[in-house]
Amino acid sequence: MNTLTDQYSEISPEETKMSKIFYHQNWSQQLIRQIYYLLNSDLDLKEKIVDILALIGETYKIDNVVLLRIESSVCQIYNSWGVRDKNWLENFVDQQWFTLVSCSNQHQIYQVCHGEGICRESCEISHSKSLNNKSRFHCCLLSLPLYISQKFFGYLILQTEQSERSFSREEIESLEIITYQIAIAIQQNQLIEKIEKIELENKKLQSSSNHKSDYLSHVSHELRTPLAGILGFSKMLREEIYGTLNEKQKQYVNGIRISGEHLLALVNDFLDLSKIEANKEELFLETVAVEDICLAAISIVQPKANEQNLDLILKLSDQVDFCKVDQRKIKQILINLLSNAIKFTEKGSVTLQVEKIDCLLTFCVIDTGIGIKEEDQKKLFQPFQQIHSNLSRKHKGTGLGLALSRKLAQLHEGNLTLKSEYGKGSCFTLELPL
């Protein structure tokens, strides 16, 4: 029987080569698996990178591993392992590594041993001539490019003073996989940093918005008190409690009343809107008859409709009876919609039509007015946006009514929508979940 030595001597060089490849595949897989587990650990990214570079250095038995970041032609040492002297590292990058990569503008894989440049077969450039004269370059150096989202990031550099050392194709391919894993880790960290930055900005914006809403709410409260006084005094003067007024004085007093009421409506809408945006508006839900809400809203706008000789119609479906809502807020929405419809309708009618459609209770305010252009419809629900027309100049508005109405509808988990044809009329629909 042949001895083990005899058996081994009978193995052909091809078999020996194959066994080396299988051996390399085995330990490279183990290394990649270790790096994978490391990247999925709870460690900080910088710690992960240092540990990965250490694994590479110890596994490949080399002196130094450096991760370089290159941005706008500026070279920065992102992290390193095995390097004890920072000055040496900086000199190594400036004098030896930069000499190598400066031979080409392309981001390629480079390996240099004994001062001779070796590129992969897929690369056309050879650097042996340009490096042969650099007598101080006596080490083995491997440089691999790193890409993040197909954008060049920098290089992973492996360096050892053992100038007879060289990296096989299998080793380089394994290191390419590792650089890919490092790139994924850096990209994830960049995304996390962006998310954290966005969240911080959102918190600042939310805080700023809350402060603004609190300030506006405070100012609105402060304005309501003197306005109430102005309206009270103008009412007493108009009723001539303290003496008669001539026609000119009555005209001025009436102007004070109209301006005061307009300003008070603006303040009230502003206050409600700021409360909603600050999430301080509360709903007081109660079960009420839908007909009662509709009649209450119509009774308030009826005088204005009569003044303009408009028919104000209520169409209530037989299926509609009760709903659970904040009665005051729904009434406020309907008054806003009906008032706007009357304001922009010179002749014809304004109809409030209430129906049950699937799981929704719908309030449709339909008018035969001037209608709204398509380009104006997009900005209609924004605060302080008003349609420019002869009627809008004739009737003053706050520019907050529709924005506030939609906010109040959304507060009920509903919505406020619009369908309109210019010159033929509009239909505003308040949808509330049953």
DSSP, residue by residue, 215-264: HHHHHHHHHHHHHHHHHHHHHHHHTTTTS---HHHHHHHHHHHHHHHHHH
Distance CA 49, CA 43 (A): 10
pLDDT by residue (tens digit) across 44-76? 777 888 888 888 888 888 888 888 888 877 778
Query: Which pLDDT score is estimated for 103?
Result: 55
**pLDDT tens digit sequence for 229-274:** 888 888 888 888 878 888 888 888 888 887 777 777 777 776 777 6
Distance CA 107, CA 206 (A): 45
Give the percent of the chain with pLDDT over 90: 3
Task: Specify which residues 322 forms β-bridges with.
Answer: 289
Residue type, 343: K
Domains, the chain, ranges and CATH? 10-196 (3.30.450.40), 197-277 (1.10.287), 286-433 (3.30.565.10)
What's the pLDDT score for residue 96? 65
Q: What is the mean pLDDT of the chain?
A: 76
Structure tokens given for 117: 């440049």
Lowest-pLDDT choice from 214-218, 360-364, 393-397: 393-397
Contacts of 221 (CB under 8 A, 6+ apart): 271
pLDDT score of 47:
82
Q: Is residue 209 scored above 70 in pLDDT? A: no
pLDDT tens readout for residues 113-171: 654 444 443 333 333 333 444 444 457 778 888 888 888 888 888 888 776 777 888 88
pLDDT for position 365: 92
Is the confidence at residue 392, as pLDDT, over 70?
no
Cβ proximity of 234 and 250 under 8 Å = no
The predicted pLDDT at position 430 comes to 92
Q: What is the pLDDT of residue 412?
A: 87
The whole-number pLDDT of residue 397 equals: 52
Model pLDDT, residue 404: 81
